[in-house]
A and B are shown apart, each in its own frame.
Chain A
Amino acid sequence: MSTLIRAAFSAFRVSMRLRVVSPYAYLNWLVFPLLFTTVGLYVLSRPGAPVSHLAYGVLGGGLIGYWTVAYLDGGNGIQDERWNGTLEQIFAVPTPLVVILFGKVTGSLLFGILSFIPTVALAYFGFHALLPHVDALRFAISLGVLSFSFFAIALTLTPLFALWRWAFQMLNGFELGVYVLCGFMFPVAIIAPWAQGIADTLAPTWAIRAIYAATTTEGAHDYFTWWLAAIALSLGYLVGAYFLYRLVEKHARMSGDLALA
């Protein structure tokens, strides 16, 4: 067990070092969130806007940055190895692939959560905007649940992106659609009912609902149900991921064509 932990930590450390020197990492955790926060706050803090809108402006950019790093950086855990020419070595080592990816995805999430620092700072110093009310405990738990859902999604996307490159292209093109469905910058309740049905199948939607509920005294505060929905859906993704990893292993070890995909 300690060997596996050490291997996961090594993967975490190496991936963090690579991230620190990658300009793309800064684009995702720093630049994009700041740009979206700026647009969000300009639009949401119009004269006469309700105070509850501010929470979406203050936190929305950070959530976008967190998600972007999770799915781009975490989700490309195997793809990166392919580009770097280290895919075969990763499969040849005795450590299970999922342990290495655990370390890498954890690194992505840690990097991604940093997005909240510049966005909250911009909101405060640039727009004098603060969260109107924060229920610290429930906010922290909701953020933890969101992190777990991002972790599960990143771990599921990793084999998916490796097996089918077009899956990454499609998700990348649909990126702003995810912002809509998960309610990063406005409540999902305002979108079309059929789209809300799709949104309900996404774990982050429930966790984000809980996060925003913790910043206001208005509306429903059904935290327990929302956390449970987010965790249950995330576990469902992980079950799917198990089968995808089996498929990846098959392509890498039996047919040997994963590096060519």
Chain B
Amino acid sequence: MNRVAAEAAVFARSTYLQYVALFQWATVRGYVAYKILLPVTQILFFVELGVYAAGRQNALYFALGNALQLTANAGIFGVIATVANERQFGTLPILLGSPANRLVTFLSRAIVNVIDGIATVVVGLLVTVVLFGLDLHHGNLPLLGLCVIVMSLTTAGLGLMFGSIGLVTRDAIIIANIVYYVLLIVCGINFPVSRLPGAVQLISYSLPLTRGVQAAREAAEGASLQQVAGLLGGEVLVGLVWAFGGYLLFRVLESYARRGGLQEAY
């Protein structure tokens, strides 16, 4: 029991330190630029693109999809930047030299970003309600909230996977950019997954967001938990697989980085 309490304390401390030292948007200007302006303009751009292509009557499809995809803003950028910043600030060798439980250290990287991801989606949904008249009167709001929480966790799982690569490369933030925008293409955000080639659809369903966005769209239309349970269960499973894969990769690359002295290469 003492050991569990000790690990919980390490987790809480690591989460707190991750926030104060590595959460790169913890300034008013940084937050306004990347957590308000960027999400709002992303929604505006893709909604206008959708309106031009498919007419004003389809604006909500694009608005809702992009508002939900914002979970990846924190889950991918935030989590990957955590490792990248650790390297840039020169603290990565110290972290890898510490005796702290790796799983606890690894998972604590994601928590602040999961919370932040939920906050970003709330901003996105507010924009969608105010600017595009998203009517949630008939929507299942608690279920929609659950979908947002699940997607924030699963995208952070994917972020942990790619964040691990930051142990051996200094340009992990490039990977973050690519992954973030690839999700816009393959996860049914701006057009249905069914329009993608078969092989790409396989990739779509092996990534977070695809099922989560579908479930959230149905929740916004009033679906019940039973109706979207399969989608949400699949989303959780996908997120767990990516997070577990990320942890394994973290351990492998940690060892590789130690042997090559790569954690100090910048």
Contacts and interface: CB of A to CB of B under 8 A. Distances in A.
B185 A42 contact: yes
A173 interface: yes
Given A31-B177, A43-B191, A176 B44 contact: yes
A23 B185 contact: no
A176 B45 contact: yes
B53 A44 contact: yes
A42 B195 contact: yes
B184 A169 contact: no
Given A173-B38, A177-B41, A190 B53 contact: no
Q: Is the interface of A mostly helix, strand, loop or mixed?
A: helix
A43 B50 contact: yes
Interface string B180-222: 0110110000110001000000000000000000000000000
Contacts of B32: 170, 173
Contacts of A43: 49-50, 53-54, 190-191
Contacts of A177: 37, 40-41, 44-45
A90 interface: no
B33 interface: yes
A49 B181 contact: no
Given A38-B185, A170-B33, A31 B178 contact: yes
A175 to B, nearest CB: 7
For the side of the interface on A, what is the size category?
20 to 34
Contacts of A107: none
B29 A166 contact: yes
B171 A40 contact: no
A46 B49 CA distance: 12
B48 A190 contact: yes
A43 B174 CA distance: 25
Contact of B41 (A24, A39, A40, A175): A175
B177 A173 contact: no
A9 interface: no
User: Among the interface residues B33, B182, B190, which one has the most CB atoms of the partner chain A within 10 A?
Assistant: B33
15 contacts: A23-B174, A31-B178, A32-B177, A39-B185, A40-B49, A43-B50, A43-B53, A49-B53, A166-B33, A169-B29, A169-B33, A172-B34, A173-B36, A173-B41, A174-B37
